Amino acid sequence: MEFKELKVRDDITALLLKQGISQPTQIQELAIPPIMQGEDVVAQSKTGSGKTLAYAIPIVQNLKNEKGVKALIIAPTRELCSQIAEEMVKISARRLFIQTAYGGVSIEPQIRNMPHTDILVGAPGRLLDLIHRRVLRLDRLQFLVLDEGDRMLDMGFINDIDEIIRATPKNRQTLLFSATVPNEIKHLIERYMNSPTYIRTAQHVEAHLLKQYFYYVPHPLKMTVMVNLLKNEESELSLVFCATKRGANILTKVIRANGINVEPLHGNISQSKRDSTTKRFKHGEIKVLVATDVAARGLDIDKISHVYNFDVPNPLLVYTHRIGRTARIGKTGAAITIVSERDSSLFGDIYEAFKDKITELQLTPELSAPIAAASPEERRRPESFQHNRRSRYPQKNSDRHSGMNPTGHRFSRPSRSHSGRRGRR
């Protein structure tokens, strides 16, 4: 199927072709027609499925030529807001004024630009701030999009979203995109959506594209194994997940000390630096990104070939979101988890859920080889630019070294039938 069969305008189709996009993905093929027809839509789709264009194309095509904010897209993180706005700009040929609104940057430019804004992409906290200041008026809103609804729920934004929706007109068109639909999301659907069309695509990356592995290692060797994997694996871009900001900083410095081009990404880094780091990583100027889960939400980068779980995630849904960052648009990818005796109970849930798809690999001398420690200068290097700013969502044990989740339990491990290293990619 081609976009013209979905009744997408020729000018938008031409702009898509310039980006190398000639055919719609599954979610685009299913979602664009009902959105074009003015229906409310609830869409469940896996990460990296092309869902942004699934709603961006109909919005850009059907937006009425009136003053005021006509489309509002709510997303959980700054990074996702920026990426959504970039996609909207690419298919609008700059005919529409598209603005982002999120915290971590000055609110003044957002206030100044509001009278000219056609499409607003924002995070719940900053949007509420603008509404309370009576700067943002939504009485002429035509489209309301909730992107990654389940993640906004996980981050505690459900009440903020409820308040924002109440500020919009009842005759709007509402679109919800979410990997899962928990009870709180169902409440929003029942209360604010008008007989929505439900769309569901495959929720997981195809098994033959995404290979999952884990290493069981003594806890003191976790960092050594992590660095040696990065040094020895043939990879395009690698995304490493840590549980805490401090842990991400520590691991970044050790990786950098071993000659690897790496940067951290977490909430204590200034927004301008985060934007710059994300852009450089997307363009391949940085080969390894060490990130926390919150900071990595919204990263939509097709060239990530490897995802590493330096810290075992909790709950299971976080693992699914993490590994969904690789093996996109038909490419192969690898998800590798480093498990120690302190991670066993957390990893048990993951192993039970994926035991038919995840393979244990054995340590080799190559992976256990000594690594360089961070130099005194590197240890003093500040990775954080807002040290005194408190996180809105504090994590338990946030001052501990990354990976310190002591448990006294072992997970049900497979037999040791796999040995040696797998084939180079």
- Is the pLDDT at 16 greater than 80? The verdict is yes
- Is the pLDDT at 228 greater than 90? The verdict is yes
CB-based contacts of 109, cutoff 8 Å, min separation 6: none
Q: Pick the more confident residue, 280 or 275.
A: 280
Label each residue of 146-212 as H, E or C: EECHHHHHHCCCHHHHHHHHHCCCCCCEEEEECCCCCHHHHHHHHHHCCCCEEEECCCCCCCCCEEE
**What is the CATH code of the structural domain delimited by 3-200?**
3.40.50.300
Do 3-200 and 210-380 share a fold?
A: yes
Task: Mean pLDDT check: name the lowest of 52-66, 222-236, 242-256, 282-296.
Answer: 282-296
The pLDDT mean for the chain works out to 86
The CATH fold assigned to 210-380 is Rossmann fold (3.40.50)
Residue pair 367/232 in contact (Cβ under 8 Å)? The answer is yes
- Is the pLDDT at 347 greater than 70? The verdict is yes
Which pLDDT belongs to residue 411? 56
- Domain ranges for the chain: 3-200, 210-380
Task: Mean pLDDT check: name the lowest of 171-175, 314-318, 357-361.
Answer: 314-318
pLDDT band at 220 (very low <50, low <70, confident <90, very high): very high
